A and B are shown apart, each in its own frame.
Chain A
Amino acid sequence: MRKTTIVPAVIATFVFSFGFVLSMAGSASAESAADNYNLFCVQCHGTKGTGKGVNAPALAVAPRNHTSAKDMSALKDADVFKAIKEGGVAVGKSTQMPSFASNMTDAEITEMVKHLRGMCKCEGKK
């Protein structure tokens, strides 16, 4: 009789704990580079990535055209990563590009660099 009470309780505890761990893991899951670009980058770089976002008219320095193979291939992947994580100033560029370290994880920024390479259809400077 006692065994029949304890066993379901142990199973229920296990299922609950497993579900809780899963839900916590889910809340910290990575966003796709496309979604991150869509929310964080589009405001200045534009929906097409050409640097003509809704904020662009207010900017003293035109946002980079991510579709330009010529411009993007002049940049090393490491510098693109650094610009996103630490801001434009960290790579000698505009203060208008802030650090997105609080918006994206390092892993998400790495994926973003790959996403940008897909947009320019180009490789980074070696």
Chain B
Amino acid sequence: MKRLIVLSCLLAFTMAFTGQALADGKALVDSNKCGDCHQMAGPAAATIADVMKRKAPDLFYAGSKFNKEWLVGYIQNPTQLRPAGTVYRNNIKTEGDKDIVGDLPKCASKLSAGDAAAVADYLMTLTDASMAAGVFKQDKFKKARAKILMKKKEACDACHMFPGKKGKPGKGGVSCPTFAGIGARLNPDWMYSFIKHPQHWDPKVWMAKREFTDAQLQLMVNFLSSMK
């Protein structure tokens, strides 16, 4: 009986503590005005005019998209993951007839480790129920085959930057997020879902949808997940 009482108290304490952390995380998101730049509630922009107003990535499905450990670190020191900014088109300067990336707005928030953990806890509750979990199968894969598919056949490097070797600068396009660190950053099930149908997540995203088999998706997500 004593044990039962102790266990009940522990459970109640844990639940209360978790609930408090989520409440704190939500309060921090509100007080730091994350919603001024990030869309915190769906649906995603459905017109180009609305996409152009986007200042920072949508966060209303952050719990489906990101790995929590990465979020905790990133929120303490946000960096630019999209070399040309959130919506590349808003950050282009023209020199002669050539486009270059102009000055990029920076995320103003830099939270303490404790606050970042609370915010990450809250963000992880923002999920999209339509995303199937457990679809990605981590497995051995041949990097050469993944590179042939992603570079030669699909030219993912036209828009995404692949990480450079041994700290060297990466190679690739700048209009979409860098692949450097993507394995630490993103939930592989979300990567699978997004590559399979980008417009499901972002109806006007400038990434084109390709027809991939499950085996091709698994190969790509295994490769991307290895980029940590």
Residues of chain A whose beta carbon lies under 8 Å from any beta carbon of chain B? 27, 31, 35-36, 38-40, 42-44, 46-48, 50, 52-56, 58-59, 87, 94-96, 98-103
Measured between alpha carbons, how far is A115 from B174 in the docked complex, in Å? Answer: 25
Residue of A nearest to B162 (CB): A58
- Chain A binding surface, main DSSP class: loop
Q: Are B48 and A31 in contact, with the CB atoms below 8 A?
A: yes
Measured between alpha carbons, how far is A52 from B97 in the docked complex, in Å? Answer: 7
CB of B100 to closest CB in A, whole Å: 7
Residue of A nearest to B158 (CB): A96
- B94 contacts across to A, CB distance below 8 A: 47-48
Q: Are A98 and B97 in contact, with the CB atoms below 8 A?
A: no
- A100 contacts across to B, CB distance below 8 A: 208
Measured between alpha carbons, how far is A111 from B166 in the docked complex, in Å? Answer: 46
Q: How many A-B residue pairs have CB under 8 A?
A: 94
- The residues in B between 128 and 187 inclusive whose CB is less than 8 angstroms from any CB of A are 152-155, 157-159, 161, 171-175
The answer to the question of B5 belonging to the interface, with a C-beta cut-off of 8 Å to chain A, is: no
Measured between alpha carbons, how far is A52 from B93 in the docked complex, in Å? Answer: 12
CB of B126 to closest CB in A, whole Å: 23
- B89 contacts across to A, CB distance below 8 A: 38-39, 42-43
Knowing A38-B89, A43-B88 touch, does A52 contact B208 (C-beta < 8 A)?
Answer: no
The 4 nearest A-B residue pairs measured at CB: A102-B209, A55-B173, A98-B208, A43-B175
Q: Are B198 and A102 in contact, with the CB atoms below 8 A?
A: yes
The answer to the question of B99 belonging to the interface, with a C-beta cut-off of 8 Å to chain A, is: yes
Q: Mark B199-220, 1 if CB is under 8 A from A, else 0.
A: 1000010101110000000000
Measured between alpha carbons, how far is A39 from B172 in the docked complex, in Å? Answer: 19
Instruction: Indicate which residue in B171, B175, B197, B208 contacts A54 across the interface (CB closer than 8 Å).
Output: B175
Size bracket, chain B contacts: 35 or more
- B51 contacts across to A, CB distance below 8 A: 39
The answer to the question of B1 belonging to the interface, with a C-beta cut-off of 8 Å to chain A, is: no
CB of A98 to closest CB in B, whole Å: 4
Residue of B nearest to A52 (CB): B98
Residue of B nearest to A89 (CB): B153
- A98 contacts across to B, CB distance below 8 A: 154-155, 208, 210
- B49 contacts across to A, CB distance below 8 A: 35
Q: Are B175 and A102 in contact, with the CB atoms below 8 A?
A: no
Q: Are B99 and A58 in contact, with the CB atoms below 8 A?
A: no
- A99 contacts across to B, CB distance below 8 A: 208-210
- B81 contacts across to A, CB distance below 8 A: none
Q: Are A55 and B47 in contact, with the CB atoms below 8 A?
A: no
- B159 contacts across to A, CB distance below 8 A: 43, 55
Could you list 15 further interchain pairs (A-B, Cβ under 8 angstroms) beyond the known A44-B158, A44-B173?
A: A27-B46, A31-B48, A35-B48, A36-B48, A39-B48, A39-B51, A43-B206, A46-B99, A54-B173, A55-B158, A55-B174, A58-B174, A59-B155, A98-B154, A99-B210
- A54 contacts across to B, CB distance below 8 A: 84, 88, 92, 99-101, 173-175
Q: Are B92 and A42 in contact, with the CB atoms below 8 A?
A: yes
Q: Pick from B47, B52, B198, B208 the residue with the most CB of A within 10 Å.
A: B208
Measured between alpha carbons, how far is A100 from B197 in the docked complex, in Å? Answer: 13
Residue of A nearest to B96 (CB): A52
Q: Are A39 and B204 in contact, with the CB atoms below 8 A?
A: yes
Q: Are B172 and A58 in contact, with the CB atoms below 8 A?
A: yes
